[in-house]
Structure formats: C-alpha cells, structure tokens
C-alpha cells in the first residue's frame, strides 16, 4: 500500500528527452492509468517508479520516503509487462515462487506453497501450475504474470500494457478481472496503456501524457467532459471529438465550413475571435430543422449505434446516431448540436478556453 509522487522528473536517453519536468501524484489504493501514444513516456514513467531507470533530475517519493536512489528490489513493487515477462524454462509454479524465494523475502516452503496455491486459485490457473510457461497461451501467460505480481503482495502494481498483446475477447475478460483484483487487494495500481477504452473503463484517475509531458490528470469523466486542450480532447472517445474552426459571434458559432451558425451555451474566447469548437460525435444531432447541412460520406454500423461521417465541403465530422436512424451514403442531412456540450479551444495553443 503506498502513495507515489514524482516531483520534477526529467529523464533523457542520450539527446532524446523522454520526460520533461514531470509532476505526478498517485494516491494509495488508486487505479491510475497513464494514457499516451507510443513514445509519450508512459513506459519510462513506469520504469522510473519501478527503479529500473534513474531520473536525470527530480525525485521519486514512495510513501513519503525519497526512493529516487533505491534499487528495484528495495522499492517493493511488482511489474507486469506486455510480454516476455515470464521466466522461460520454469514451470508456472516456478514462476510464481520466484519472487518469494528472493533474499529479501523470508518464507518457509509451506508458506510459499500456500501463497502460490491461493494466487493460482484466484486467477484460475491451478491446473496449469506444473506446465512449462512456453506451452501456455497468451492469456494464460498474462494470468501467470499477474499472479507473479500479486503473490508477493507488493505495495504497488505497475502494469505496462498488459493486455495489448491479447485478442479482443480475452482483453475484455482480463480487464474485468484486473478491476476486480484491484478492489479486492486495495493496492495502488499504475497501469500504462495507449488504449483509451482501457483507460476510460479501468482508471480511477487518468494521466494523459504527450511527448514527455503530463498534459492532464483527472477522473475519466473529467478528462472526457473537460479536456484541458485539444490533445486530451482527441485522446479519449471513439470516434474522437470533432474540432471545427470558426468565429464566435455572441453566443453563436459561425463555422468556416458551410458558414453555418450554431448556438453555443457557454461561449469563451471573446466575441469575434477565431475559435476551434469542440463537439463530441454523440452530441451532434441529426435534426430536419437543424441549422447546418452536410452530405453523408460514410456509415459505420456498430449494431447499437451508427457512426456517420459527415462532409461539409471537404470538412469531415463524426456523428453518433442510433442504429435505427435511416440514412444512406450521399444523402444530404440537416443537423445541429447540443449547445451546452460545445467546448471552445484556442486555435493556436489548443487550450480549452472554458477552463479559466
């Protein structure tokens, strides 16, 4: 059980700066998700917490103690990786026992067996215990990896895209199990992913990383509804938030595309200024009396919903509509949006003008 704090962390690899002046606080028992693209610095952050990397500057604080110079063994954390994390040439039992047999631990053979058996039961891998890890499927391997992490009951669980190498069904199953495990163990989880669905569905808190900087930290709903800038806005949500350039006139948005005027409930950024308006696809409504019109460019039917791609003279925007909606490609539709959901961003910096 532990609080984690990163203070002013900078990490360079040669001339390449992986993390710049990163500040992050993770509370005890939190399921914290680090979301970002490849190269954003998520894995580096995780490795810094694990003690596998030393920062060029800044501090890693574990439970109030400066742990910057502690080695991995001293930090008492567990790591689950995307792949290659199991020791080959050992059985599943061998892998699960391995952390308990290190010199930092003092367990009797009976205690080890008891713990391993209990963990195996929790993760439903008892029947695999005597199998060599090379002969496991991807999902089984990941269960064993998770088992190896929890068997030691560390203060922090670090997971580096543990589900990305699995197929979709298995990913859903393990996602639920991990969440359940988290609530049972009550331990601090730091979970790295590039998958915003994972981030939204699993995290108590999400930290969005972009090019070595932490852009925003918040609960999934905060990140979704009040993104700090256009980067965060487009990082979550499927399809991502529509961004449309235009001019703010009173409480109307005059879009560049088609010169349509649409209402904005809480306008920011000053009358007459150029604004980038953000609207999520589910807040775009098809409405025969709507002020704007567009051609249907593409339809993706997802069963419950349809995702429409609308074309206004070459500008595309997405709209999520109910699957019952009857539309065809190349139809011309009229639409509106929910004025209270519109966000105003600065077109040059991308900053959300509505957040002070």
Partner 1 sequence: MAGVRTPREILTNRVAIVAVFVALAIMLTPIYWIASTSFKPRNLATTIPPTVVFEPTVSPFVKLFTKRSQLREQPTQEEYDAAPWWEQMVFDGGEKVVRNRRSGEVTMSGYGDRFTNSLIISIVSTVLAVSMGTLTAYGFSRFKVAGEDDWLFFILSTRMLPPVVVAIPMFLMYRVVGLNDTHLGLIILYTAFNLSFAVWIMKGFIDEIPREYEEAALVDGYTRMQAFFKVVLPEALTGMAATAVFCFITAWNEYAFALIMTNRNAQTAPPYIPSQVGSGLPDWTVIAAGTLLFLIPVAIFTFLLRNHLLRGMSFGAIRK
CB of 73 to partner 1, least distance (A): 4
Q: Which of 21, 25, 98, 201 binds partner 1 (CB under 8 A)?
A: 98
Q: Which of 16, 38, 103, 304 binds partner 1 (CB under 8 A)?
A: 103
Residues numbered 34 to 53 that lie near partner 1 (CB under 8 A) are: 50-52
Number of H helices, E strands in the chain: 9, 20
Bond from prior residue into 239 cis (ω within 30 degrees of 0): yes
Asked if 83 interacts with partner 1 (CB under 8 A), we say yes
3-state secondary structure of 224: helix
Q: What are the angstrom distances between the C-alpha of 260 and each of 16, 130, 210, 279, 335?
A: 45, 67, 33, 15, 10
Site string for partner 1, 111-140 (x = CB under 8 A): ------------------------------
Which residues partner with 157 through β-bridges? 78, 189
Contact 277, 253 (CB under 8 A): yes
Strand partners, 343: 278
> Closer to partner 1 at the Cβ: 84 or 355?
84
Environment class of residue 160 by beta-carbon count within 10 Å: exposed (0-12), middle (13-18) or buried (19+)? buried
- Tell me if 88 contacts partner 1 by CB under 8 A: yes
Restricted to residues 143-202, the positions that interact with partner 1 (CB under 8 A) are 148, 152, 158
Q: Left if phi > 0, otherwise alpha if psi is -120 to 50, otherwise beta: which for 269?
A: left
C-beta neighbour count of 240 within 10 angstroms? 16
Stretch that binds partner 1, among 1-9, 84-92, 221-229, 317-325 (CB under 8 A): 84-92
Rounded to a whole number of angstroms, the minimum distance from the CB of residue 133 to partner 1 is 11
89 binds partner 1 (CB under 8 A): yes
Q: Which of residues 85 and 188 has its CB atom nearest to partner 1 in the complex?
A: 85
Task: Please tell me whether residue 108 binds partner 1 under the rule CB under 8 A.
Answer: no
Cβ proximity to partner 1, 125 vs 158, nearer residue: 158
Binding site residues, partner 1, CB under 8 A? 50-52, 71-73, 75-79, 81, 83-89, 98-99, 102-105, 148, 152, 158
């Amino acid at each position: 059980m532990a609080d984690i704090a990163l203070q002013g962390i900078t990490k360079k690899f040669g001339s390449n700066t992986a993390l710049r002046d990163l500040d992050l606080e993770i509370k005890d028992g939190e399921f914290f998700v680090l979301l970002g693209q490849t190269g954003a610095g998520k894995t580096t952050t995780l490795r810094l917490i694990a003690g596998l990397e030393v920062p060029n500057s800044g501090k890693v604080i574990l439970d109030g103690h400066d742990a910057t110079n502690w080695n991995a063994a001293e930090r008492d954390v567990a790591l689950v990786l995307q792949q290659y994390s199991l020791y080959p040439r050992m059985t599943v039992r061998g892998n699960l026992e391995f952390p308990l047999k290190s010199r930092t631990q003092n367990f009797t053979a009976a205690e080890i067996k008891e713990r391993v058996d209990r963990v195996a039961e929790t993760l439903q891998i008892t029947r695999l215990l005597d199998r060599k890890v090379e002969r496991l499927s991807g999902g089984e391997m990941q269960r064993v990896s998770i088992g190896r992490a929890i068997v030691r009951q560390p203060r922090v669980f670090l997971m580096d895209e543990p589900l990305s190498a699995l197929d979709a069904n298995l990913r859903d199953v393990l996602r639920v199990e991990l969440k359940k495990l988290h609530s049972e163990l009550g331990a601090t989880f730091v979970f790295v992913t590039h998958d915003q669905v994972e981030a939204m569905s699993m995290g108590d808190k999400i930290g969005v990383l972009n090019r070595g900087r932490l852009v925003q930290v918040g609960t999934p709903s905060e990140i979704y509804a009040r993104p700090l800038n256009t980067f965060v806005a487009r990082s979550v949500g499927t399809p991502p938030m529509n961004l449309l350039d235009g001019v703010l006139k009173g409480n109307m948005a005059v879009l560049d595309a088609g010169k349509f005027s649409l209402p904005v409930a809480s306008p920011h950024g000053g009358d007459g200024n150029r604004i980038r308006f953000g609207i999520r696809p589910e807040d775009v409504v098809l409405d025969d009396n709507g002020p704007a019109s567009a051609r249907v460019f593409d339809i993706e039917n997802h069963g419950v919903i349809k995702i429409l791609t609308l074309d206004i003279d070459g500008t595309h925007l997405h709209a999520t509509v109910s699957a019952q909606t009857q539309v065809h490609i190349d139809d011309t539709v009229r639409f509106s949006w929910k004025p209270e959901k519109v966000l105003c961003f600065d077109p040059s910096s991308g900053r959300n003008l509505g957040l002070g």
